[in-house]
Amino acid sequence: MSSPASTIAGGAPDMSRADVRRVIFASSLGTVFEWYDFYLYGSLAAIIAKQFFSGLNDTSAFIFALLAFAAGFAVRPFGALVFGRLGDLVGRKYTFLVTILIMGLSTFLVGVLPSYASIGVAAPVILISLRLLQGLALGGEYGGAATYVAEHARDDNRGYSTSWIQTTATLGLFLSLLVILGCRLTLGNDAFEAWGWRIPFVVSALLLAISVYIRLQLNESPLFKKMKEEGKQSKAPLSESFGQWANLKIVILALLGATAGQAVVWYTGQFYALYFLTQTLKVDATTANLLIAAALAIGTPCFVLFGWLSDRIGRKSIIMTGCLIAALTYFPIFKAITHYANPTLETAAASSPVSVVADPAQCSFQFDPVGKKVFNSSCDIAKSALAKAGIPYSNVAAPAGTVAQVKIGENVVPSFDGKALDKAAFKEQKGAFDKTLGGALEAAGYPKKADDALINKPMLVVLLTLLVLYVTMVYGPIAAWLVEMFPTRIRYTSMSLPYHIGNGWFGGFVPTIAFALVSLKGDIYYGLWYPIGVALMTLVIGVLFTRETKGSSLHVHD
């Protein structure tokens, strides 16, 4: 076994603290811009649903928009394989220079892509293709940046050094929210939703130019450079990483016992919280973004705090604690968010509960990944209308063949069966049903949107900041933990795959799965069971089977 990497990284006489800080700054800033590009779509999912999926009904359009968002996450593991292999063969620096070019160009093209109204079905097809390219690029970005910084850091300071990379995802989201808010406030909501939403995507061209310039100033990782000079680099990183059980076992544990739980806590605390505010509680988008931005501004320094703390007490204990307290407190926190964001909805749900009385056989799970199904049974029509309005409801079974009814307190609104109707007749009856249902809900005290005068913004900032603190606990130390699990010759490949399966699949699908679960059950909190279940799985596996790596030396080869 070779000498410890600390004799090269951070401990070498030619690597001053200033040099290490420059590496951290350059890597982090470029990654901030890349996350900005990626998260613009998530922040604007509701608008993009109208622009590119207008050929579908409202519920399907929003679910499909979320699926397009999730598509970028779905392919991230494949990007990890492609670019991880390249990074272990060619080098860290040039690989994540390529990834940022792909990301920046794909984001710019989303900003100039014609809508569904202009070019029809080609619009969502091209949009999803660009999202796939973004996902592939991001799949190679994180592992490269984390590995690059870690291989420059001292053994006793690696958690702190890599935690700056961990801030980039949140800072990228924060930057995207600020740009979106600036455009909304400057243009007004109508102009922004019509065409102004494109500006944040087009601006990415400038950020791309800055990022490429920064990346070109960097040198190759000293560990990789020395390993390459000695001819000890891997000739087949994929087969070494995943074809040998000794390493594959660590990859599996890194996924199930670390990154899966970290991912769902991350996406619940930031993205699902935003969706919950805007889609379920009907808080104005500008207000919701400002609340999230405030929470991020307060909580983001804790990424570095927990990274620093992990150098002293360990990575594993901090991450496992974050998963545990998130699982235990999500339900009360989200119920409190409802209380302080839309108390009128909370009061109406208690005084005039809504239920859908329907034949269970006529009720579909309204989740269609290709957008071809039409959900037009009386039950589906009723549930779709309630889901769109953000109204919690319960399900009551009715005899077979019964036309569904929406019961609001003592008031009953009958739905209709749209299966045998042509488009014109369906549209007419749907309009009449929506009008009747809306009137009945309003009479029962259900608000069409959250009343800004009743929103307790300070308390919401406190609750949202608490969610962000959970994020910082699980995410701050994760890069150092993953880097220290694997040897230099296959580090980029080995750490990238479990990270991106965890964050791309377990985490990236949180909004989509949660929304579908809520639509199925009617309980606005039901979607939380998904992140809670995954976090508890990671807690059990992580505690029992993963090892602490604090203070480990990075080796050039086994």
Highest-scoring range by mean pLDDT, 3-17, 260-274, 313-327 = 313-327
Q: Is 357 helix (H, G, I), strand (E, B) or coil?
A: strand
Distance in angstroms (rounded) separating the CA atoms of residues 257 and 279:
32
Measured in degrees and rounded to the nearest 5, phi and psi for residue 358 equal: -155, 160
pLDDT of res. 367: 60
pLDDT category, 555, cuts 50, 70, 90? low
Q: Please give the single-letter amino acid code of residue 448.
A: K
pLDDT tens digit sequence for 319-334: 999 999 999 999 999 9
Three-state DSSP string of 151-172: CCCCHHHHHHHHHHHHHHHHHH
Distance in angstroms (rounded) separating the CA atoms of residues 356 and 164:
49
Measured in degrees and rounded to the nearest 5, phi and psi for residue 151 equal: -80, -5
* Residues 26 and 215: beta-carbon distance below 8 Å: yes
Q: Kind of pairing, strands 394-397 and 354-358?
A: parallel
The DSSP element (H or E) to which 110 belongs, if any, is: helix 92-112
Q: Kind of pairing, strands 354-358 and 411-414?
A: unpaired
pLDDT of res. 387: 79
Distance in angstroms (rounded) separating the CA atoms of residues 464 and 206:
31
* DSSP classification of residue 56: S
Instruction: Please calculate the CA angle 492-495-499 and round it to the nearest 5 degrees.
Output: 125
pLDDT category, 11, cuts 50, 70, 90? very low
CATH number of the domain located at residue range(s) 5-342+453-545 in this protein: 1.20.1250.20
pLDDT tens digit sequence for 64-103: 776 776 677 778 888 888 888 888 888 777 887 888 888 8
pLDDT of res. 15: 60
Decide if pLDDT at 104 tops 90: no
**Percent of the chain having pLDDT more than 70?**
92
pLDDT tens digit sequence for 498-519: 988 888 789 878 887 887 788 7
Query: What is the dihedral sign for C-alpha 390, 392, 397, 399?
Result: negative
Q: Do domains 5-342+453-545 and 346-443 have the same CATH topology?
A: no
Q: Is 555 helix (H, G, I), strand (E, B) or coil?
A: strand
Distance in angstroms (rounded) separating the CA atoms of residues 203 and 31:
16
Helix axes 92-112, 198-216, angle to 10 degrees: 160
Sheet of 394-397, strand order: 394-397, 354-358, 405-408, 411-414
The DSSP element (H or E) to which 412 belongs, if any, is: strand 411-414
Residue 501 corresponds to which tokens in the numbers above?
A: 């399966």
Decide if pLDDT at 193 tops 80: yes
pLDDT tens digit sequence for 406-419: 999 889 999 999 88
Residue 345 corresponds to which tokens in the numbers above?
A: 């909805």
Distance in angstroms (rounded) separating the CA atoms of residues 152 and 148:
7
Distance in angstroms (rounded) separating the CA atoms of residues 530 and 205:
36
Decide if pLDDT at 475 tops 80: yes
* DSSP classification of residue 405: E
Decide if pLDDT at 12 tops 70: no
Distance in angstroms (rounded) separating the CA atoms of residues 374 and 59:
11
* Residues 76 and 136: beta-carbon distance below 8 Å: yes
* pLDDT: which is higher, 218 or 337: 337
* pLDDT: which is higher, 286 or 314: 314
* pLDDT: which is higher, 364 or 232: 364
Sort 294 into a burial class: Cβ within 10 Å, 0-12 / 13-18 / 19+: middle
For 517: left if phi > 0, alpha if psi spans -120 to 50, otherwise beta; the answer is: alpha
Lowest mean pLDDT, pick from 19-33, 72-86, 319-333, 372-386: 19-33
Query: What is the dihedral sign for C-alpha 105, 111, 112, 116?
Result: positive
* Residues 137 and 78: beta-carbon distance below 8 Å: no
- The residue extents of the domains of the chain are 5-342+453-545, 346-443
User: If you average pLDDT over residues 254-270, what whole number do you get?
Assistant: 94
Q: Please give the single-letter amino acid code of residue 29.
A: L
The DSSP element (H or E) to which 397 belongs, if any, is: strand 394-397
Decide if pLDDT at 177 tops 70: yes
pLDDT of res. 413: 95
pLDDT of res. 117: 83
pLDDT of res. 545: 95
Q: Is 143 helix (H, G, I), strand (E, B) or coil?
A: helix
* Residues 106 and 134: beta-carbon distance below 8 Å: yes
Question: How far out from the chain centre does Cα 46 lie?
Answer: 15
Sort 186 into a burial class: Cβ within 10 Å, 0-12 / 13-18 / 19+: exposed
Radius of gyration of the chain (CA): 25
Q: Please give the single-letter amino acid code of residue 532.
A: I
pLDDT of res. 500: 86
pLDDT category, 427, cuts 50, 70, 90? confident
Highest-scoring range by mean pLDDT, 171-175, 193-197, 223-227 = 193-197
Q: Is 372 helix (H, G, I), strand (E, B) or coil?
A: coil
Highest-scoring range by mean pLDDT, 146-155, 320-329, 360-369 = 320-329
pLDDT of res. 60: 63
Lowest mean pLDDT, pick from 5-9, 185-189, 193-197, 305-309: 5-9
**Percent of the chain having pLDDT more than 90?**
40
pLDDT of res. 147: 85
pLDDT category, 151, cuts 50, 70, 90? confident
Q: pTM for the whole thing?
A: 0.83
Residue 364 corresponds to which tokens in the numbers above?
A: 């579909």
Decide if pLDDT at 8 tops 50: no
Lowest mean pLDDT, pick from 49-63, 269-283, 440-454: 49-63
* DSSP classification of residue 525: T
pLDDT of res. 7: 39
Distance in angstroms (rounded) separating the CA atoms of residues 501 and 440:
45
User: If you average pLDDT over residues 506-535, what whole number do you get?
Assistant: 87
* Domain 346-443 in CATH 1.10.3470: no
Distance in angstroms (rounded) separating the CA atoms of residues 331 and 397:
27
pLDDT of res. 488: 81
